[in-house]
């Protein structure tokens, strides 16, 4: 994702395919504290600006002033700025070990979101993430955590790369890497979320390679 200014760490990249679900994925995963030691994807440029505007509109179409949002991985605050500019939610909480900027009316948790230990102490009812789901090491554990911590009717809203389309069009730079750990696409994400008690409420495409999806927890 960038040029190293210190000694590089080498690791074999082993791709495997699940015999049951046919999902291509990495067999060997790098420790989070090593892989994400420093922030390295500031998500800047016209495409990201257009994405954040469109994604914020998608989120705000589902939320109002009574909602509390938990944003996983949004430490650069660019998406938060777009959401809060158009919609005044009750609370906005960000989980991210790397904070880029402040100055917003948000709560910040300087840590990685851990689905094994997380408890909803902030009383949020909406979870959002932008280009985070493809980085999950155990998507089933995250989906279970979302279900366990959201109230009935709560929302999980994702923006994520359509890796199957990326693969079909041979855009290999955006496919599987040490960070993009499995072949996520709308069908596969739906399977995971439905297994854990969610239904898809709304979906949209920012591009053939980027999808928005909102899932509601069944009561």
pTM confidence score: 0.92
85-132: pLDDT as tens digits: 887 899 999 999 877 666 678 899 988 899 999 999 999 999 999 999
Residue among 46, 70, 73 nearest 135 (CA): 73
18-73: pLDDT as tens digits: 898 888 899 988 888 888 887 766 677 899 999 999 999 999 999 999 999 999 99
pLDDT band at 1 (very low <50, low <70, confident <90, very high): low
């Amino acid at each position: 994702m960038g040029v190293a200014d210190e000694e590089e760490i080498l690791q074999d990249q082993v791709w495997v395919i699940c015999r049951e679900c046919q999902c291509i994925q990495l067999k060997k995963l790098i420790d989070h504290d090593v892989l994400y030691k420093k922030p390295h994807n500031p998500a800047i440029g016209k495409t990201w600006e257009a994405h954040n505007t469109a994604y914020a509109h998608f989120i705000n179409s589902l939320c109002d002033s009574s909602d509390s949002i938990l944003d996983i991985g949004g430490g650069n605050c660019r998406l938060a700025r777009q959401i809060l500019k158009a919609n005044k939610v009750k609370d906005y909480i960000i989980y991210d070990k790397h904070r880029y900027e402040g100055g917003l009316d948000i709560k910040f948790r300087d840590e990685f979101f851990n689905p094994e230990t997380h408890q909803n102490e902030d009383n949020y009812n909406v979870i959002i993430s932008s280009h985070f789901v493809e980085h999950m090491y155990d998507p089933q554990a995250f989906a279970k955590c979302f279900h366990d911590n959201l109230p009935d009717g709560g929302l999980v809203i994702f923006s994520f790369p359509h890796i199957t389309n990326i693969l079909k069009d041979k855009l290999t730079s955006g496919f599987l890497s040490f960070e993009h750990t499995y072949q996520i696409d709308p069908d596969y994400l739906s399977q995971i979320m439905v297994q854990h008690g969610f239904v898809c409420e709304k979906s949209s495409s920012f591009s053939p390679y980027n999808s928005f999806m909102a899932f509601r927890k069944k009561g």
